[in-house]
Amino acid sequence: MSWLTLLNNLENGTVRAATQDEQGNWHANVEVKQGILEAFKNGTNTEYPGGFVDKDNLAPQGFAAEAGVRMVPGGSSVRRGAYVAAGTIIMPPAYVNIGAYIDEGTMVDSHALVGSCAQIGKNVHLSAAVQVGGVLEPIGASPVVVEDNAFIGAGCVLVEGVVVKKGAVLAPGVRLSASIPVYDCVNERVLDKGEAIPENAIVIPGSRPAKGEWAQQQGLSLSCALIVKYRDEQSDAALELEEVLR
């Protein structure tokens, strides 16, 4: 498949940068990421209106009303090779990078980033200033995934291939990466490294003591995430979160 065909297929949603297997695990589509890198190599820097410079084959997308995407004026951009489904709302300023996939009914709020190859499900709420990290290299690295009906609170940061399962709720300021431990206070366990945030989990920012006698003497602590509750499928995410944070 040529890089041009690949970009077109990414934009119409027939090809994705990551796929889910029958067990619910996500895997990077290496051929897609290779094709995206090939597109970069084949592009030449060119000037765009407004003083912008980017590859001539990766121009930002425009949307017709028939597409069903509501992109509010004010500085947002969806790059070539990203898929945005009908019913999506993008508030300014927001940025959706190449290879990203955003499914139906999702809200991308102001100052939010959906990074390269990130996968966002149906009816997801990405609140203001949410940073969903992207990844093109290493070629086999899995992107960040946020599954259907998840609620990601303001200022959350998701990087390094983190997966947030269906219906999960992240309180404002939660940071998730491969090196930040997640403590399940309901089931009294620590999630394994690389384990997804479980379905319907309610997650808040937390801290844990830093190791070492000197660090403890100074009262130092490191960030972590805490699962403090699980919501049922019928409960309202915002109301559940408000109750937990009271």
**Full DSSP string of 165-200:** -TT-EE-TT-EE-TTS-EEETTTTEEPPTTPPBPTT
- Picking from 186, 134, 189, 181, the residue whose alpha carbon sits closest to that of residue 160 is 134
Q: Supply the CATH classification number for the domain 3-61+70-176.
A: 2.160.10.10
* Distances, alpha carbon 127 to alpha carbons 147, 211, 228, in Å: 15, 33, 20
According to DSSP, the β-strands at 89-90 and 107-108 are parallel
DSSP single-letter state for residue 22 = T
Q: What is the pLDDT of residue 118?
A: 98
pTM (2 d.p.) = 0.94
Q: Model confidence over 18-72: pLDDT tens digits?
A: 999 999 999 999 999 999 999 999 999 999 998 999 999 999 999 999 999 999 9
236 pLDDT band, cuts 50/70/90, is confident
> What is the rounded average pLDDT of the residues 71-95?
97
- DSSP-derived 3-state class of residue 75: coil
The separation between the first and the last C-alpha atoms of the chain, rounded to the nearest angstrom, is 53
